[in-house]
Structure 1
Amino acid sequence: MIADKTYEPVEPLRLAFLGLGTMGGPMAAHLLRAGHHVTVYNRTAAKAEAWLAEVGKHPQASMAATPLEAAASADVVLSCVGNDQDLTEVTTGPQGGFHSMGRGTLWVDHTTTSAQIARDLAALGRAKGITFIDAPVSGGNLGAINGVLTIMCGGEQAAFDRVAPVLRAYARAVTRLGDPGAGQLAKMVNQICVAGVVQSLAEALAFGQKAGLDMHKVIEVISQGAASSWQMANRGPTMVDDRFDFGFAVDWMRKDLGLCLDEARRQGAVLPVTELIDEYYAEVQAMGGGRWDTSSLIRRLR
């Protein structure tokens, strides 16, 4: 489930982790390996049972039937769910964790959501004595498995300082960027950048292939120069080989770009290239590629 990693010494805490998808499962496992007590919850209980089996029925690992139950005895609750609606359900829904958390506890949310829901939950939490931190991540499933995610946080400085050592169990960079919502805004910046790089890479590789070049060799050469990027190093070879059954799904990227475009309209910002690439991803979905990796943009050009 996860790669070996050396964890910094931290005081063991009682943690709840909600959402055991391709990202959440490895992240929760790193927390367990780091020495914390981890109670997990997943909407599909079978995933929580499978996670417990994968960690070897660890004595400090358990599962809960609801977010309410998982959060009841936690010092820190962490979530990695699907979208704004899912986050609302696990926080303030009928069985939401906010209803059972004690004063002085923290909620750290790794979901990519709107900035507004982060602000709203921070305000609701404050009224209950709960501190909410929005903490979206970048690095994909491999980053979660290897414990090298980048985490962008919005929230109070004191709470961030308290929880940052916990988050470093699965991150190589944990940064506070401002007040509640700032983490989500930074993640939008990240996704705008990623979309542009992937589209440019798709065009370049498709061009080189049509020109008859050995694109694996071309990638090897140009990745040593100014054109180098994470996407080129990690997705370039698989794009050349037409492999997309892994990674960050197109469906999720469209959700994220929708958040970016909505926020841009609120801010009066102009994102013409992002709007165009979002349309390109819609074409990939129409081709049946909703679950393909985002690098599948190149399929449009073949």
Structure 2
Amino acid sequence: MKIGFIGLGNVGGKLSGSLLRNGVDLSVFDLDDQLVNAKVAAGARAGGSPADMMGDCDAVITCLPSPAASAAVVAEMLPQVTAGKIWLEMSTTDSSEIKRLGALVQAAGGEAVDCPVSGGCHRADTGNISIYAGCARATFERVLPILTHMGRRILHVGEVGNASILKVMTNYLATANLLTLCEALTVMKAQGMDLGMTYEAIAMSSGNSFVHETESQLILSGSRDVNFTMDLIQKDIGLFQQLADEAAVPLEISPLIIAMMSDGQARYGMRAQSDRMIERLEEATGLQILADGFPTELVDDEPEERGCEVQPKRRIR
């Protein structure tokens, strides 16, 4: 299949790199010409425009910063959608919006796949990230070979829109975990605990998590650069709160998380790195939440391997 990739930012640049590294016939497009030129130098073709790419390719992947950006790109591609063409949305987006856009693509004779990723930019860089895919089963079978070049674990989650619902849930949980880790590390420092030892104590306990094993290291090293910014967090947790509001689920923690992240943005900038939330507590206490021996950037040390479909352990109803 000839693949087009639109959006070469933090995540999209890495996902498209996995496709190139695995020999996929790839065209690329981004508003930043430098990002396009770098991929062309690595073996991709410049795609010209979203419309050109949909016309030339069998499938076009989008990985964009907002639902509005995705809508604009789909509108441009839509006249070129014909029978058999596939649009894959890998952004974290509004489930109702991707259903709307997917319906437009399907009405034109094409197929739509809602397939956001989860697992951190460092795993996106090595093809070891996880991918949820919402689409018809027959469509999933067509795109699975492409997805397994970008992700290690691929889960078919049913219809278009389901993947986006699950993704904003996971990002909500990750954000809540980040904020509680900030509090836990600060309290341990205030109690005189060695923070290197504290890291290991958490890692071997029931309090351990993916966020701890990754982001706590960046907090303790002082880097605070997880390659994910506060504006993206706000988008994702806002979408989760929207899902709750639509279902009339009264949440207590979610509004507090949104308010805390808003305060972080007011202090450090709208696009500050999300791990800088620790600095709110450092400022409030006068403590430094640092320890020796931790990395300043995350590197996936697992060897790259071709991905596969995850088979649910429990029956899906």
TM-score, normalising length from structure 2?
0.85
Distance 2:202 2:34 in 1: 45
Q: Work out the percentage of aligned pairs sharing the same amino acid.
A: 27
The one-letter code matched in structure 2 to 1:249 is T
Separation in 1, partners of 2:191, 2:269: 26
1:158 to 121, 138, 142: 138
Q: Partners in 2 of 1:269 and 1:47 — Cα distance?
A: 42
Correspondence for 2:11: 23
User: How far apart in 1 are the matches of 2:220 and 2:189?
Assistant: 8
Q: How far, CA to CA, are the matches of 1:244 and 1:291 in structure 2?
A: 13
Query: What secondary structure, in the 3-state scheme, does the structure 1 residue paired with 2:112 have?
Result: strand
Out of 46, 50, 69, the position equivalent to 2:38 is 50
Alignment equivalent of 1:185, drawn from 147, 165, 180: 165
Partner of 2:25: 37
- Which residue is 2:123 aligned to? 143
Residue 58 (structure 2) pairs with residue 75 (structure 1): yes
Alpha-carbon offset, residue 136 of structure 1: 1.1
In the alignment, the residues of structure 2 paired with residue 213 and residue 245 of structure 1 have an alpha-carbon distance, to the nearest angstrom, of 24
Instruction: Give, in whole Å, the separation in 1 of the partners of 2:82 and 2:170.
Output: 34
Pair 242,32 (structure 1): closer, same or farther in 2 beyond 3 Å: closer
Q: Please give the residue correspondences for 1:59-98 in structure 2 after superposition, counting only pairs within 5 Å.
A: 61-92=44-75, 96-98=76-78
Residue 124 of structure 1: SS of its match in structure 2?
Answer: helix
Partner of 1:3: none
**CA deviation after TM superposition for structure 1 residue 284, in Å:** 0.8
Structure 1 range deviating more: 289-298 or 227-236:
289-298
* Structure 2: gaps of 5 or more residues: 283-317
Q: Distance in 1 between matches of 2:268 and 2:176?
A: 22
Instruction: State the Cα deviation string for residues 235-266 of structure 1 (Å, max 9, x = none).
Output: 11221233223421111000111111112111
Superposition misfits of 4+ residues, deviation over 4 angstroms: none
Q: Secondary structure at the match of 1:269?
A: coil
After superposition, give the CA deviation of every residue in 1:106-137 in whole Å (9 maximum; x if it has no partner).
11100111001111112111111111111111
- TM-score normalised over the length of structure 1: 0.89
Task: Describe the shift of the 1:289–1:233 C-alpha distance in structure 2 as closer, same or farther (beyond 3 A).
Answer: farther
Superposition deviation, residue 144 in structure 1: 0.9
Q: Residue deviations 1:34-60, cap 9 Å, x none?
A: 22210000022222112222x1xx2xx
Name the count of aligned residue pairs.
282
Residues in 2 aligned to 1:270 and 1:297: alpha-carbon distance in whole angstroms:
26
Write the distance in 2 (CA, Å) between the matches of 1:154 and 1:169.
Answer: 18
